[in-house]
A and B are shown apart, each in its own frame.
Chain A
């Protein structure tokens, strides 16, 4: 093992640089979203009625569909990595394709949720609840979109003649994608359900 440690691995822990970098980034992402969650806690404590009223306006069945959507995409992402590790190209393309599609459906549903709010005259400035609702779900949707770019790129590349074989890289992308699912796991009950 020690002789195999090259530039590609952190010398003390033996973790691949790319993976270590992604985990450091994810730790900073936890802090990024923590800011919003703590803002939510503070504002909710002093505006309980506003928050309960705001949450009642949200379309929780749509959010539940999106929750299922992201859980499916997390499963297919994990399966895609496993398939690529075992050089099963067609399975890899199928699973990664479903992952991409789930991300797309998530954003489409989010679009309908937002436009429904706008058509009812509800905007980020409507109340402290909706300010946080749009900020938190907006940043989360941006994360979904950002994840879909490399997913789509790797998927497209796998169809080229040279193909795509670096499963360890897709595993790192998977870490990010699972994290985005994880943020939604908390956003769903906090914004839509607990009032």
Chain B
């Protein structure tokens, strides 16, 4: 597996992704526990914390899917199994939050 990449190259890919996942985990903990926005920001600070947490999680998930789950190297048809559920999930969240009343 790995579109002509040698075992050593694949291993290097895996270890790089592992390092990035660890770094992002540290980053998300720091952003949530050590970074405090000014009191005067009120609700905006909560929104910012949620956004940072989710964006970091999405980047981590993308790396897992792309490298660990071989989507980068595997049959391109398999990508449909990422995009379809992702799209449905986004529609669901959009419908429930943006269209569905007060949000935060």
Binding site for B on A (CB under 8 A): 13-15, 19, 23-24, 26-27, 30-31, 34, 37-38, 41-42, 45, 48, 60, 64, 67-68, 71-72, 74-75, 77-79, 81-82, 85-86, 171, 174-175, 178-179, 181-182, 185-186, 188-190, 193-195
Q: Which of A41, A82, A178, A179 contacts B96 (CB 8 A)?
A: A41
Q: Which of A24, A31, A174, A175 contacts B88 (CB 8 A)?
A: A31
Q: Check A182–B65 contact: CB distance below 8 A.
A: yes
Q: How far is the CB of B80 from chain A (nearest CB, A)?
A: 9
Which residues from B are CB-within-8-Å of A179? 69
Whether a CB of chain A sits under 8 angstroms from the CB of B3 is: no
Interface string of B54-70 (1 = CB under 8 A from A): 10110011001101111
Q: Which of A75, A188, A189, A195 contacts B18 (CB 8 A)?
A: A75
Q: How far is the CB of A77 from chain B (nearest CB, A)?
A: 8
Q: Which of A26, A68, A171, A193 contacts B33 (CB 8 A)?
A: A193
Q: Check B84–A194 contact: CB distance below 8 A.
A: no
Q: How far is the CB of A44 from chain B (nearest CB, A)?
A: 8
Residues of chain B at interface, number, CB under 8 A: 48
Q: Which residues of B (1-31) have their CB < 8 Å from a CB of A?
A: 1, 7, 10-11, 14-15, 17-18, 21-22, 25, 28-29
Q: Which of B33, B69, B97, B103 contacts A175 (CB 8 A)?
A: B69
Q: How far is the CB of A189 from chain B (nearest CB, A)?
A: 4
Q: Which of B32, B54, B64 contacts A74 (CB 8 A)?
A: B64
Interface contact tally, CB-CB below 8 A: 122
Binding site for A on B (CB under 8 A): 1, 7, 10-11, 14-15, 17-18, 21-22, 25, 28-29, 32-33, 46, 49-50, 53-54, 56-57, 60-61, 64-65, 67-70, 75, 77-78, 81, 84-86, 88-89, 92-93, 96-97, 100-104
Q: Which of A82, A86, A178, A189 contacts B64 (CB 8 A)?
A: A178
- 8 chain-A/chain-B pairs, Cβ below 8 angstroms: A23-B81, A30-B85, A38-B96, A48-B104, A75-B17, A174-B68, A188-B57, A193-B28
